[in-house]
Structure 1
């Protein structure tokens, strides 16, 4: 039995004060989304692997734990991301013709962590819009992201935008480059220009003009005005590039009060996203706090490839970067079988007060509360006294 209290690597208990703060954040976030018209959905933690991974790419497959269903013999997956499940609900169960707005919050589990400092169990909270292909939906999602983080009292923030359509347009003109798309996207994400140029000597290699465009693309990051101007001047005059740059420019102009940067080589998840991608960074967190973007093809596996855009984040990660949770003031009540005391405690609790009755023979020891008042018997009645 030695060590049976230990948890597996990169899993952790959430203790009382922190658990309360996470729960309070969950409530205010979902209440915020409701004011925007988002409907809450709650898909199951486990489902058939074919459905769980539909349209989600290889990264999600590697992060998903698999097991055999004893009832059917089929392979099940423990969800590592809730977006495919929401896409299934929109496409198959609700089957609406108009715009659908959905939000969710639930645990997800990763077979392997995304980063060295990341946990494997996340409390994923997100919001998604289905059925509208225009930038209006992307803009609503971005505004909701910023409002969510402000509600959580996250401080200095920066929004990074990108668009897979830029590199996609370049690769589409060159069969040699398209054949090495996975490697090219990886090297662009790492901004590994020497390795990109070294592709020239490998088999069915990309053309020299393609490699030149990719080298330029790797350096296109920074303030929106500078990046967009340089991209329009130096990248090939392709329709796909022009459309992607127009989308980015429109969103930047619509969000003048937000600190925005562009990184046209940030192409992680290129097989998943179909339009504008974004990451939100904030002071105090080592990695992106929120990720999202447009993923119009995710519903195709369920028979309806509806336009879709959204975001998600780990609520535990947000809470962990905030100042320590404050303890709440509470009322101390002695142990007594006096019916009048029971009624008084019930009255106070219905008013939203925290009333803790001390059990006989024990000193009350707690992390989440401190006593600032007490109930005492005075002139035949139970009254509050400040401590």
Structure 2
């Protein structure tokens, strides 16, 4: 086996793409700061019981595990940063009132989320803690949309859902106790035959539960889907509260175009408790952004807090954008002349890219267009066009 081969679903990022990803990171963190979000940086690994607190089985399956050589305890390489940020809010900051936190860092998945997905992501996100009202959800959704606009994504589409709808149906039938993850996977892929096959696998399953789940798989479209769900789904109090939450959020965001997919459980890792959303755009095979409300995750750290937020993968975002353009640069000769060194320092202080040509070595510059050169003219170093 060649030593330069990487494990499956991992990839190197080459210069032009790496530069654009870094520019996106800086731009989005600067955007979040204008909204009052404070930057935090959790560690890459944590003890497993902390890393998976308040989450579902999907996150456990995606988390790479190893033994800490100092303590002997099992640690995990983070597959999602949201639980870590919840721990920081609940345990370390421990503030009263509203806290806005943002973050950016690498996460690793033990297995890819899909056929076209990478296992290493550069996750960036923003979270609001301490406010249970839909005002926080509105701010988070507006900030998520502003994020993709700043990146140059045109015609982004906002998709809404509420995990309380399928949970209410599953929880209403004792025969599905312990089978929720399987049901949610079938709903997310809209596998109607698989949903109907549950009747044979779980003999005590009520026929009306099966009908409700198969009806849920077809409940997607515009905001009228919410009214249709009220008509065709069972009259369960928790289910109708979830639909009320969706309707209230739609009413609070006039001027936005929504789609609603009540069967899409997304990749919320089981911790979402309220309205969830995804942002889709032409050119990306999957959601660009996922977010929503996840009240109570901080309970595992000693302090349950209302919370809502979103995250996205900068590598995925960059990969669907048009090819990154080249930067303009100045070519300069190699030398230690004091006037040359001063000229180089001055140009770089002004933000110019100046590339000194090493003696006798050709240079291939995939990232730059050299359109000027630094030359000695009548005893003075000057920049002239090439």
**Superposition TM-score tier, normalisation by shorter sequence:** over 0.9
Alignment partner of 1:263 is 2:257 = no
Counterpart secondary structure, 1:299: helix
Mapped to 2, the partners of 1:317 and 1:271 lie a distance apart of: 23
Which residue of the partner structure matches residue 322 of structure 1?
321
Correspondence 1:174 to 2:173: yes
Contact 1:21 1:319 in 2 (8 A): yes
- Find the residue that maps to 1:205 and give its secondary structure: coil
Query: What is the alpha-carbon distance in structure 2 between the residues aligned to residue 240 and residue 300 of structure 1?
Result: 22
What's the counterpart of residue 200 of structure 1? 199
Q: How far 1:196 moved relative to its partner?
A: 2.5
Q: What whole-Å deviation, never above 9, does each CA across 1:20-74 have from its counterpart, x for those lacking one? A: 1110100000000001111100011112111111112111111111111111111
Task: Measure, in 2, the Cα distance between the counterparts of 1:40 and 1:254.
Answer: 28
Give the corresponding residue for 1:346.
Answer: 345
Cα offset for 1:172? Answer: 3.4
State the partner residue of 2:246: 248
Work out whether residues 157 and 259 of structure 1, in 8 Å CA contact, stay in contact via their aligned partners in 2. no
CA spacing shift, 1:203–1:285, aligned 2, 3 Å: closer
Aligned to 2:231: 233
Matches within 5 A, 1:1-387: 3-178=2-177, 180-225=179-224, 227-268=225-266, 269=268, 271-387=270-386
Distance (whole Å) between structure 1 residues aligned to residue 75 and residue 176 of structure 2? 36
Shift in Å at residue 185 of structure 1? 2.3
Q: Distance in 1 between matches of 2:364 and 2:314?
A: 28
8 A contact 2:57–2:181 mirrored in 1: no
What SS does the corresponding residue of 2:297 show, helix, strand or coil? coil
Tell me, in whole angstroms, the C-alpha distance in 2 between the residues paired with 1:104 and 1:110.
Answer: 18
- Contact preservation (8 Å) 1:177, 1:207: no
Q: CA offsets, 1:194-238, max 9 Å, x none? A: 33334334455232333332232221110112x122122222333
Deviation at 1:373, TM superposition (A): 0.8
TM-score when normalising by structure 2: 0.95
- Against the structure 1 CA distance between its residues 283 and 139, is the aligned structure 2 distance closer, same or farther, given a 3 Å change threshold? same
**315-324 or 62-71, which deviates more:** 62-71
Checking the alignment, whether the CA contact within 8 Å between 1:328 and 1:368 is kept in structure 2 is yes
Q: TM-score, normalised by structure 1?
A: 0.95
Extract structure 1 runs of 4+ deviating beyond 6 A.
Answer: none
Task: Decide whether the 8 Å contact of 1:68 with 1:75 is kept in 2.
Answer: yes
How many residues in Structure 1 have an aligned counterpart in Structure 2?
385
Deviation at 1:384, TM superposition (A): 1.1
Whole-angstrom CA distance in 2 between matches of 1:271 and 1:12: 28
Question: Which deviates further from its counterpart, 260-269 or 326-335?
Answer: 260-269
Is contact 1:218-1:264 (8 Å) kept?
yes
**2-structure distance, mates of 1:110, 1:200:** 33
CA displacement at 1:137 relative to structure 2: 1.0
Alpha-carbon separation, structure 2, partners of 1:47 and 1:181: 27
Q: CA deviation at 1:350?
A: 0.7
Q: Is the 8 A contact 1:277 1:292 kept in 2?
A: yes
**How far is the alpha carbon of 1:177 from its aligned partner?**
4.0
Check whether the contact 1:158–1:258 (CA below 8 A) recurs between aligned residues: no
Q: Check 1:238–1:125 CA distance in 2 against 1; reply closer, same or farther (3 A cut).
A: same
- Assess, with a 3 A threshold, how the Cα gap between structure 1 residues 137 and 115 changes in structure 2: closer, same or farther: same
Q: 1: distance between equivalents of 2:90 and 2:114?
A: 32
**Following the alignment from structure 1 to structure 2, what is the Cα–Cα distance between the partners of residues 237 and 3?**
60
- Cα distance in structure 2, aligned partners of 1:369 and 1:102: 36
Partners in 2 of 1:28 and 1:244 — Cα distance?
35
Counterpart CA distance in 2 for 1:108 and 1:201 is 39
Work out the CA distance in 1 between the residues paired with 2:110 and 2:275: 28
Give the drift of 1:176.
2.7
Any unmatched runs of 5+ in structure 1?
Answer: none
Query: Which digits, 9 at most, give the CA deviation of each residue in 1:107-145, with x for residues without a partner?
Result: 111111111111111111111111111111111111111
Q: Decide whether aligned partners of structure 1 residues 101 and 230 sit closer, same or farther in structure 2, where only a CA change above 3 A counts.
A: same
